Amino acid sequence: MIPVTKPFLPPSEEYQKYLTGIWQRQWLTNMGPLANDLEIKLKEYLGLSHLLFVTNGTVALQMAIKALDLKGEIITTPFSFVATTSSIVWEGCKPVFVDIDENSLNIDASKIEDSITEKTTAILATHVYGNPCDVVEIEKIASKHNLKVIYDGAHAFGVRINGKSIFEYGDISICSLHATKLYHSIEGGLVITKDATILKKLAYMRNFGFDGPEAFAELGINGKNSEFHAAMGLLNLEYIDKILEKRKAINDRFDDKLKNLNVRKPLWHDDSANNYAYYPIIFENEESMLKAMNFLKSHEIFTRRYFYPSLATTLPYLEKQYFPITDDIAKCVMCLPFYPDLSIEEVDLICRFLLRIQNN
Ligand SMILES: *Cc1c(COP(=O)(O)O)cnc(C)c1O
């Protein structure tokens, strides 16, 4: 059986060493020494001066919307994971969808202005599969219309653009460190901002708004993370180069073996490099995608329709809306199995099956 993803796990003895330390200190959560150390090491690795380690990527998004005090309408993409949209609704705002660009699969910046109304307060865009949005154009539109920008960088760990971390863009960026992501702390997330005032607000928010043991500075939530999660994060960071090396090898093998497959891949941003978070392929139509998916499944190889269906047609709390490019891509896209443990032989097997079913 080949699953679509498998979380990276370091050797258990190494995790055990961290557990021994936790038992000695008896400090389990509330931003203990491991969580603190993880923040320092991640800043160093990502080349950022500020970030906060939080519970998960979804809470990170909700904290971001709250910290910017957003109201009214937020322009966003229908081609993302549900948390991008649900966070907007959860914070009492209205998501306004804009169709995606057929090449990057990110929100189509050239269509944003048409959707701006007097109620618009922000743009929340996803770097889909880690591929950077048109951050320059989005920044231009945002400053022209006085809008805030939040980036859902759940997939974008380690991505740089012109040598600079992608998380430096927007008023706030978030990342997910969930077990299925490229780099993980089991559950976890990051909130990133360059603005010192917003950072301070976010730090209060993460800890119920506490300002000392008996005072409050802000409306807060419990956005903290534990020492056990931080330990996994610290350990996985020691393996990140190996993880990336493996993923690159798998990626290159797929590229090579699938040259003659009649599919296309998202077009990556010119000034950035792939972080090998996913291996998506886009078929000519839904029928050929399903045929391939089912054939692989019959051989115990599991792929995922990611993202399908469009968020604008699926959520019971929103009116259905149709977007030609999003709806079309969502029907035809498939993510292939992609994780460090996947062997080259398994990659070859997947590719052989894909080519066989195409030529059938
Ligand atoms: C995974 C994911 C999230 C949510 O992150 P969690 O850490 O699972 O809460 C948000 N947005 C996108 C695009 C994601 O893929």
* Residue from 106, 178, 181, 190 to probe ligand 1 pocket by mutation (most atoms less than 8 Å from CB): 178
Residue with tokens 């000695």: 24
CATH number of the domain at 278, please: 3.90.1150.10
Residue 135, pLDDT > 90, answer: yes
Nearest Cα residue to 192 out of 40, 66, 51: 51
Residue 156 sits at the vertex; the CA angle it makes with 154 and 157, to the nearest 5 degrees, is: 95
Instruction: Decide: 175 in ligand 1 pocket, CB within 6 A.
Output: no
Distance 356 CA to ligand 1 centre (A): 34
What would the two tokens of residue 345 be?
């032989």
Residue 359, pLDDT > 90, answer: no
Q: How many residues does the chain have?
A: 360
Which segments of 125-188 does DSSP mark as H helices, in order? 135-145
pLDDT digits (tens, 9 = 90+) for 84-111: 999 999 999 999 999 999 999 999 999 9
3-state secondary structure of 266: coil
Residues in a beta bridge with 149: 123
Distance 81 CA to ligand 1 centre (A): 6
Using an 8 Å Cβ cutoff, are 42 and 213 in contact?
no
Instruction: Decide: 155 in ligand 1 pocket, CB within 6 A.
Output: yes
State the Cα–Cα distance between residues 283 and 154, nearest whole angstrom: 25
Q: Domain boundary residue among 174, 206, 237?
A: 237
What would the two tokens of residue 269 be?
């941003």
pLDDT digits (tens, 9 = 90+) for 33-88: 999 999 999 999 999 999 999 999 999 999 999 999 999 999 999 999 999 999 99
Nearest Cα residue to 106 out of 169, 193, 50, 163: 169
pLDDT digits (tens, 9 = 90+) for 209-242: 999 999 999 999 999 999 999 999 999 999 999 9
Judge whether 2 lies within some domain. Answer: no
The residue contributing the CA closest to ligand 1 atom 7 is: 57
* Residue from 62, 65, 81 to probe ligand 1 pocket by mutation (most atoms less than 8 Å from CB): 81
Instruction: Decide: 58 in ligand 1 pocket, CB within 6 A.
Output: yes
228 and 284 inside one domain: no
60 and 204 inside one domain: yes
Domain extent, residue 331, equals 240-359
Judge whether 131 lies within some domain. Answer: yes
Mean pLDDT computed over 289-303: 98
What would the two tokens of residue 256 be?
């090579």
Region label for 300, one of left (φ > 0), alpha (ψ between -120 and 50) or beta (otherwise):
left
Q: Domain boundary residue among 173, 203, 237?
A: 237
195 and 258 inside one domain: no
State the Cα–Cα distance between residues 128 and 122, nearest whole angstrom: 19
pLDDT at 360: 79
Q: How far is CA 61 from CA 12, 66, 138, 208, in A?
A: 31, 9, 18, 16
If 0-12 CB within 10 Å is exposed, 13-18 middle and 19+ buried, where does residue 358 land?
A: middle
pLDDT at 158: 98
Residue 283: enclosing H or E segment and its boundaries?
Answer: strand 280-283
154 and 83 inside one domain: yes
Distance 26 CA to ligand 1 centre (A): 30
Quick one: what percent of the chain has pLDDT higher than 90?
Answer: 99
Ligand 1 atom with the smallest distance to the CA of 61 is 10
Q: What is the mean pLDDT of the chain?
A: 98
Judge whether 163 lies within some domain. Answer: yes
State the Cα–Cα distance between residues 88 and 65, nearest whole angstrom: 7
Judge whether 128 lies within some domain. Answer: yes
Q: How far is CA 133 from CA 16, 116, 226, 274, in A?
A: 40, 18, 32, 13
Residue 190, pLDDT > 90, answer: yes
Judge whether 6 lies within some domain. Answer: no
CA atoms in the 13 A half-sphere facing the CB of 160: 7
Residue 161 CA to chain centroid, in angstroms?
16
29 and 149 inside one domain: yes
pLDDT digits (tens, 9 = 90+) for 240-294: 999 999 999 999 999 999 999 999 999 999 999 999 999 999 999 999 999 999 9
Judge whether 157 lies within some domain. Answer: yes
Instruction: Decide: 275 in ligand 1 pocket, CB within 6 A.
Output: no
* Residue from 175, 176, 311 to probe ligand 1 pocket by mutation (most atoms less than 8 Å from CB): 176
